[in-house]
Amino acid sequence: MTLADIFEINDPICIEPAFMDCADNEYTRFLLDGDYSAAKLLVDENEDPMAAAFLEKGGWTVTSFVFRPFSVEVLERFEALDGDIYQEERSCYLAALREYYCGEIVKEYPDVIEDNREGRYEMIESLFDSLNLRQDAAGKTESPLTAIDFCCGSGVATSVLRDIGYETLSFDCDPALISCGIQKKRLIPSRAMCLDGTRASDFCPKCNLGIGLMLGDISNFNADMWSDIIYELFTLSEKTIITTATKPEIEMVAGWCADEGRRYKIIENDRDPIYDAWVCVSEE
């Protein structure tokens, strides 16, 4: 289901240029500056407003309130136009919103270079099997285990998780990599986002499993940035798997686990000595 399907309109354009902009209150002000002739309001299963569509000369403009407060001024504008109310499950709307922005990314980055190297999928699959992730997901068809792939790149690890039974959500800060993952069918547009990892908890729900593979380079110079990202990973996941290329990097990760009071273990991994040489598995 797309935004067009949900609102029953043609060619909607979101007023927020990027997915993360949906949390910026400034776009409410931009919306209110428009000259509109019709309006539609979308509420969720609890009848809470989560989006609106307004018709102007150029077509329908959509704005989202799933990551920022709904505005009384928007409601007044909607009522003045005698608008129509639509209802949809919040999860369905979020999926449509992610799909919209992924579509915009692919339009902006149509020509991509494959970053996946031969054998990478099998290396990750073998690592996950050694950690019993396939076994954990087995038999969970009615309510599958959920996983977030932090800094997902073009989605190789996401595709492994999905193939072994997890319901995935993935993000990376590099739109070209997101485009590559979508075009190579490793990322599903309705389940992928372009995000700054330090703000992941603003846009992602809590999950059973969080992964951050081939993180780095982690050094004293950029440790603050990586610690912010990894703390977000801890906040969102019951169990986390983080891999690095070197032992000093994984020791820094272990220190952050200890700071958060997480149980953890460090494993040396010979499946991929370049990117995933060291593994930290931790739990709440």
- The pair of structure tokens assigned to 49 is 């407003």
Q: b/e map of 178-212 (b: 16 or more CB within 10 Å)?
A: bbbbbbbebbbbbbbbbbbbbbbeebbeebbbbbb
Confidence category of residue 140, pLDDT binned at 50, 70, 90: confident
Domain 120-283 has CATH 3.40.50.150: yes
108-138 pLDDT, tens digit each: 999 988 888 889 999 999 999 999 999 998 8
pLDDT at residue 231, as a whole number: 97
96 alpha carbon, distance to own chain's centre: 13
Contact 44, 66 (CB under 8 A): no
CB contact at 8 A, 106 and 179: yes
**51 pairs with which residues across the strands?**
42, 64
Residue closest to 109 by CA, chosen among 191, 156, 174 = 174
Instruction: Break the chain into its structural domains and give their ranges.
Output: 3-108, 120-283
Output the average pLDDT for the chain. 96
| Model confidence pLDDT, tens digit, residues 83-102 | 999 999 999 999 999 999 99
Average pLDDT over every residue of 68-93: 97
The predicted-structure confidence for 169-204, as pLDDT tens digits, reads as follows 999 999 999 999 999 999 999 999 999 999 999 999
Which helix H or strand E contains 167, and what residues bound it?
Answer: strand 167-172
Tens digit of each residue's pLDDT (9 = 90 or more) over 225-278: 999 999 999 999 999 999 999 999 999 999 999 999 999 999 999 998 788 999
DSSP sequence for 43-99: E-TT--EEEEEEEETTEEEEEE-SSS---HHHHHHHHHTT-EEEE--HHHHHHHHHH
Q: What one-character DSSP code corresponds to residue 116?
A: P
